[in-house]
């Protein structure tokens, strides 16, 4: 039986559970769910969090631009982030690998072919690729979007069956409900223009993305006819609960 291929994008705010530290408990939650679903689903993860990890250990001083400090923090934090994934997933018998990509990789056909071939080999051998932007040489995530777009481009390139963006809300809320403070989730979207009109942009505390960056990512996925779900990753069991349709989230197809 062909497994459902899911690309899960996890932002810094989800991984820290809106604190100042990466939550091993959240990584365990993700690992537990993947372990339960491994007979029917195969996962590729796009994960932010390298800068957030580094900030737990070091404070860098520099007279250079802030962007260079963030790139240096990403360099320090990335090995720690991957180690946390590797150790936690290994306890459940799950194998992981690291893939660092840049947006320029998606502009060259040879690079795109290499990404597809490499990740297919990994997935077919039961490895879960953990993808992040190569922040040392590229700054798109740091500047623009907390890996939302990277997740969408990767999902499109790999022709996944489902693209899940884990965030800190129960999907996308109607503009009126945000104003009223009662937060009603838009459950199903077909027309992206209607969704765009509802978005109130807000930036997360650790990541650089907001809801607008998610709309941009959804647009990329939609062009490739990939279904996207915006799910509350702060909740335990959020992937399985969404698959069982037992929690509110936004589905776009």
The residue behind tokens 């990740």 is 119
Token match 């409900």: residue?
177
pLDDT at 203: 47
SS (H, E, C) 175-193: HHHHHHCCCCECCEECCHH
Instruction: Using alpha carbons, select from 215, 210, 189 the residue that is nearest to residue 146.
Output: 210
Complete DSSP assignment for 33-87: HHHHHTTTEEEEEEE--HHHHHHHH-----SS-HHHHHHHHHHHHHHHHHHHHHH
Q: What is the pLDDT along the chain (253 residues), one digit of tens a residue?
A: 799 999 999 999 999 998 989 999 999 999 999 999 999 999 999 999 998 899 888 888 766 677 788 888 889 999 999 999 999 999 999 999 999 998 888 989 999 999 999 999 999 999 999 999 887 776 665 554 568 999 999 999 999 999 999 999 999 888 888 888 888 999 998 888 877 777 655 544 444 446 778 888 999 999 999 999 999 999 999 999 999 999 999 999 8
């Amino acid at each position: 039986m062909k497994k459902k291929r899911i690309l899960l994008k996890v932002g810094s705010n989800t991984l820290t559970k809106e604190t100042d530290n990466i939550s091993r408990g959240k990584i365990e939650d993700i690992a537990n769910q993947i372990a339960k679903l491994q007979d029917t689903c195969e996962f590729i993860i796009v994960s932010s969090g390298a800068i957030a990890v580094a900030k737990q250990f070091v404070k860098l001083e520099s007279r250079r631009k802030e962007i260079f400090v963030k790139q240096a923090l990403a360099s320090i934090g990335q090995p720690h982030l991957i180690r946390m994934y590797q150790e936690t997933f290994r306890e459940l018998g799950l194998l992981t690998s690291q893939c660092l990509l840049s947006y320029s990789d998606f502009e060259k056909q040879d690079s795109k072919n290499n990404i597809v071939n490499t990740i297919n080999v990994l997935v077919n051998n039961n490895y879960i690729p953990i993808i992040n932007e190569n922040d040392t040489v590229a700054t798109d995530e740091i500047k623009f979007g907390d890996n939302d777009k990277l997740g969408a481009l990767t999902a499109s390139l790999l022709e996944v069956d489902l693209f899940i963006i884990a965030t800190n809300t129960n999907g996308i809320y109607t503009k009126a409900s945000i104003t009223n403070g009662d937060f009603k989730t838009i459950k199903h979207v077909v027309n992206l223009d209607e969704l765009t009109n509802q978005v109130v942009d807000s930036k997360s505390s650790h990541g650089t993305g907001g809801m607008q960056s998610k709309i941009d990512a959804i647009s990329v996925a939609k062009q490739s006819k990939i279904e996207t779900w915006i799910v509350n990753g702060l909740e335990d069991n959020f992937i399985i609960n969404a698959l069982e349709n037992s929690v509110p989230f936004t589905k776009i197809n």
